[in-house]
Amino acid sequence: MDRRTFVSAVAGGLVVWPLGAHAQRQVLPVIGYLANASAAGFTNYVDAFRRGLGEMGYVEGQNIAIEYRWTEGQRDRLPGFARDLADRQVAVIVATGGSAPALAAKAATTSIPIVFTGGDDPVRSGLVSDSRLP
């Protein structure tokens, strides 16, 4: 093998190698987790959330990713965190810790589904509409 053939083969391999590596990387769907709490105070809830996802075949780090945003009880951080998750184009936002996280998520996006827990009456708080009302 002459020098030119060798250099061409190595260079060709170097060009193709990153493309193959990129093709093997799997982009995981991302769940945005927005909580008006601290991570330490929500350990049991997050564990239950992960178990529930696991029962449906979703495992964090394997076939989904989760982006956590904790306000540490500072409600004024919710709008910025919700906008950040919306800007990242997460697949869904899970809002927990009262109505405030869900309202912040609703204000941040009209296209990303929002799953929320707890809080006030969702119709009365403006999270959902009641088509039966005039």
Distance CA 118, CA 13 (A): 55
The distance between the two most distant Cα atoms of the chain, rounded to a whole number of Å, is: 83
Range from 13-22, 71-80, 106-115 carrying the lowest mean pLDDT: 13-22
- Spell out the residues 6+ positions from residue 77 whose beta carbon is closer than 8 angstroms to its own: 71
**At residue 8, does pLDDT exceed 50?**
no
Residue 78's identity, in one-letter code, is L
CB-based contact 94:31 (threshold 8 Å): yes
Contact 88, 37 (CB under 8 A): no
**All domains of the chain in start order, with CATH:** 30-116 (3.40.50.2300)
